[in-house]
Amino acid sequence: GLKFWKTDDPQLNKSLQQSYTGKHPQRQLPVTLSVTIQTGRPITVTASLPNLRPLTLKSDHIPEEAHKHLVTEQVIEKQFGRLGNTRYKLDSCATTIQGNPMVPLSVLGKLRKALIAQLDKQVMARPPRRNQAINFLTDWQPSHDPAPDDVDNTDKRTKLHVLVRSLHQLEYLTEYDLASVYCDFQDIREYKQAVAIGRKNGLKTFLATPRIQKPSEIGLFHAIAKHDPEGVLVRNLSGLEYFREKCEIISDFSLNATNQITVDVLLKMGSRQVTPSYDLNRDQLMTLAHHCRPTDLQIVIHQHMPMFHMEHCVFCSVLSPGTDKTNCGRPCDYHQVELRDRVGAAHPLTADVGCRNTLFNAQAQSGAEIVADLVDVGVLDFRVELLREETPEQVANILQQYQGLLTGTTSGTQVWRTLQAMNRVGVTRGTLEYERDPLAIL
């Protein structure tokens, strides 16, 4: 019952190509003709094809007054309808005859051939391209001034936010001074306990929505809202609309904010802060920070990059005799799955509440070296995302490194080397990649 999508089909390509090439085209274009014949004046033929400008031809022959064989509308339509094995077919022919003209059939045949040749040129000719550079930023104005009066500029302290993926990781964080904690669990039934732990220990607790929300899944938002979190990490526009009047909202990377216009739109829709897209490299992220109000951004500086997110559930198809979430027995609650690539790296696979799977890069990556530059332009909020750190020591090692980075006691280079993370901002090569400084970190 699974849908199967093909990226190529040679047989289909061949059959489609045959429909418009060869001696006998299968697909013909409808031609609308308007013919005017008047004694003593050249014959005028205007042809129209769909989506193309009308084409007009005039004959060299001047019709004379007929003594026997008058030209008729039926003769004109029959002669111009003889399009043979061309790519055209006569759709309609409106004929206007003035006087009593006589036109030899050879003249009409010559005019028909000339018309076909001109139509071929028009069909094959590419329309002229108009290259027009449009600067959308010329008339655009942000909803907030770069340094508004309502922002307390005296508080320049950097803030560390942490995303956890299990209750155990959340419990490990109770010893740390954090700005907020984001809970991203595959079993949202644990969100109730997560909010309780956060409140008991004075942690500002946010709950994360699934990355994808279908129309029939609005109940997931109801389930999140009933736990009354202090905020929500929103990953789709449906969640942004649902929670905008209910609690504080942070827009996540999946909303793909790559420029100041998108950031401003998400702020107007109710976001308190926006997480920039992972498509931005270091240079592009710095450009965004320069053109936005820096306090509106929350930058992820440590994570295992999500490589792809898919509808297909590996847990169900491999670890269960079931066919979907109604009968699979939820093996994702009991098993950890990793996909091993050609070089031996084991990439963690997770499932969300909607049974959609995300494959994460085996190696964490760190943007620690860009933090100092971001702080210099006014960015204060940074996020660390945990994945499968199982012990308090593993969590402590990561948090202590980044806390030292934000307080200035540890350098960015020391952080990523100590954690053995890739020194990188964003994905390896994003969809917005363009020619840039070759020495910049990816």
Residue 322, token pair as written in the block:
């079931």
Instruction: Work out the pLDDT band at 150, boundaries 50, 70, 90.
Output: very low
Contacts of 173 (CB under 8 A, 6+ apart): 162, 164, 181, 203, 395, 399
Instruction: Clarify whether residues 165 and 99 are in a common domain.
Output: no
- Whether 111 maps to a domain, the answer reads yes
**Do both 301 and 210 map to the same domain?**
yes
Q: What is the DSSP letter of 22?
A: S
The β-bridge partners of 206 are 182, 231
CB 106 within 8 A of CB 75: no
- Do 389 and 253 lie in a common domain? yes
Phi, psi of 161 (to 5 degrees): -115, 145
Burial class from Cβ neighbours inside 10 Å (0-12, 13-18, 19+) for residue 167 reads: middle
Give CA–CA dist 148/294, Å, rounded: 11
**Quick check: is 32 in a domain?**
yes
189 and 104 in a common domain = no
Per DSSP, 342 falls in state T
**88 lies in which domain range?**
24-120
- Residue-wise pLDDT for 277-286, tens only, equals 999 999 999 9
Q: Output DSSP code: residue 276.
A: B
Its pTM stands at 0.68
> 409 and 275 in one domain?
yes
pLDDT of amino acid 7:
79
pLDDT tier at 28, thresholds 50, 70, 90: confident
Residue 166 lies in a domain: yes
Both 283 and 373 in one domain: the answer is yes
- CB–CB of 86/123 below 8 Å? no
Query: Which tens digit of pLDDT belongs to each residue from 205-257?
Result: 999 999 988 888 899 999 999 999 999 999 999 999 999 989 999 999 999 99
Residue where one domain finishes, among candidates 60, 93, 120: 120
Is 238 found in the same domain as 184?
A: yes
Please check whether residue 75 lies inside any domain of the structure: yes
- 3 inside domain: no
Q: How far apart are the first and last CA of the chain?
A: 41
Kindly state whether residue 214 falls inside one of the protein's structural domains.
yes
The overall longest dimension of the chain from CA atoms, in Å, is 111
Q: Are residues 191 and 109 in the same domain?
A: no
Domain end point (choices 69, 96, 120): 120
Question: Are 113 and 164 in the same domain?
Answer: no
Q: Give the CATH number of the domain where residue 193 resides.
A: 3.20.20.70
Q: Is residue 236 part of a domain?
A: yes
Q: What would the two tokens of residue 352 be?
A: 């969300």
Q: Which of 126-140, 150-164, 404-418 has the highest mean pLDDT?
A: 404-418
- Answer whether residue 340 shows pLDDT above 80: yes
What is the per-residue DSSP string for 128-169? PP------TTSS---SS-SS-TTS-TT----EEEEEESSHHH
Band of the pLDDT at 4, cuts 50, 70, 90? Answer: confident
Number of domains the chain is built from: 2
Looking at the fold, whether 264 and 215 belong to one and the same domain comes out as yes
Residue among 273, 266, 181, 161 at smallest CA distance from 230: 181
* Residues 38 and 178 grouped into a single domain: no
Q: Which of 77, 90, 91, 87 is nearest to 120 (CA)?
A: 87
Nearest one of 232, 48, 263, 31 to 142, comparing CA atoms: 263
Alpha-carbon span 322 to 318, nearest angstrom: 10
Rounded Cα–Cα distance for residues 277 and 288 (Å): 11
Helix, strand, or coil (residue 400): helix
pLDDT of residue 198: 94
Angle between helices 73-80 and 105-124 (to 10 degrees): 50
pLDDT bin (cut points 50, 70, 90) of residue 95 is very high
Q: Is residue 107 part of a domain?
A: yes
Q: In terms of domains, do 266 and 403 share one?
A: yes
Span 341-389, pLDDT tens digits? 888 888 988 888 888 888 999 889 999 999 999 999 999 999 999 998 8
Tell whether the model's pLDDT for residue 439 goes beyond 60. Answer: no
